[in-house]
Amino acid sequence: MPTENDGIMIVLSSPSGAGKTTLVNLLSKKNNFEISISHTTRRPRANEIENQDYYFVDENKFKRLIKNQEFLEYAKVFDNYYGTTRTPVIDKLNKGKNVLFDIDWQGADQIKNKRLDYKLITFFILPPSKEVLFERLSNRDMKDKLIAEERMKQFERDVLHWINYDYVVINENLEKCYTKIFNLIQAEIINGSKDYDKDFIRQHVEKLTS
């Protein structure tokens, strides 16, 4: 049974290129914060470590996990499946650990709709401008430029989900963005006042999508 000493769930989502993974890694360095490790059918990238960045599995194994109802949430993102298994998350929360989820808006929606007895705070991270995002997504050769353009189109669709999150934070400066998220988490935990201006965010999203 959940108690007051349980950890809380903290979701960070963002369109590709907003710097979310770096933020999750920074937050996980804090005492008592742990990252939820997802399963994915995506192939590992050169710098990724099995069982640390992801549990890399094939589609058959992933579908077995779906069938056995092991996922707290799962979704298809681009062309691959991604999902969070329930048991490790609940174990961490019951031990008082705060669990960080680096998942997309589909997963965030599913966790929200589960209405678990654990506190949940959701963050959506945005880039400072379309120009900066394009720069972050681009590389010099043409192939990567095409991928960047494709991701920009995806961005315009993904950004519309900002409205379903508790907080939207702009990642202009990594340190400042991290501090803002951490302060909002602390304020939520102690029920303190929150430094958050939703109208400013709405205007920012309008600029990003105009």
Q: Which residues bind ligand 5GP (CB under 6 A)?
A: 38, 42, 73, 75, 77, 82-84, 102-104, 106-107
Q: How far is the CB of 84 from ligand 5GP (least distance, A)?
A: 4
Are the CB atoms for 73 and 107 separated by under 8 Å? Answer: yes
Rank residues 77 and 90 by Cβ distance to ligand 5GP and give the closer one: 77
Alpha-carbon distance of 60 to 209, in angstroms, equals 38
Cα angle: 38, vertex 31, 188; to 5 degrees = 85
* Beta bridge pairs of residue 125: 169
Q: Which residues contact 149 (CB under 8 A, 6 or more apart)?
A: none
Rank residues 8 and 37 by Cβ distance to ligand 5GP and give the closer one: 37
Q: How far is the CB of 122 from ligand 5GP (least distance, A)?
A: 13
Q: How far is the CB of 18 from ligand 5GP (least distance, A)?
A: 9
Rank residues 106 and 183 by Cβ distance to ligand 5GP and give the closer one: 106
Q: How far is the CB of 24 from ligand 5GP (least distance, A)?
A: 9
Residues found in the chain:
210
Rank residues 76 and 194 by Cβ distance to ligand 5GP and give the closer one: 76
Q: Token pair 């804090």 is at which residue?
A: 30
* Beta bridge pairs of residue 55: 39
Which residue lies nearest ligand 5GP, judged by its C-beta?
107
Q: How far is the CB of 38 from ligand 5GP (least distance, A)?
A: 3
Alpha-carbon distance of 183 to 188, in angstroms, equals 9
Closest to 122 in 3D by CA, of 162, 170, 167: 167
Rank residues 160 and 189 by Cβ distance to ligand 5GP and give the closer one: 160
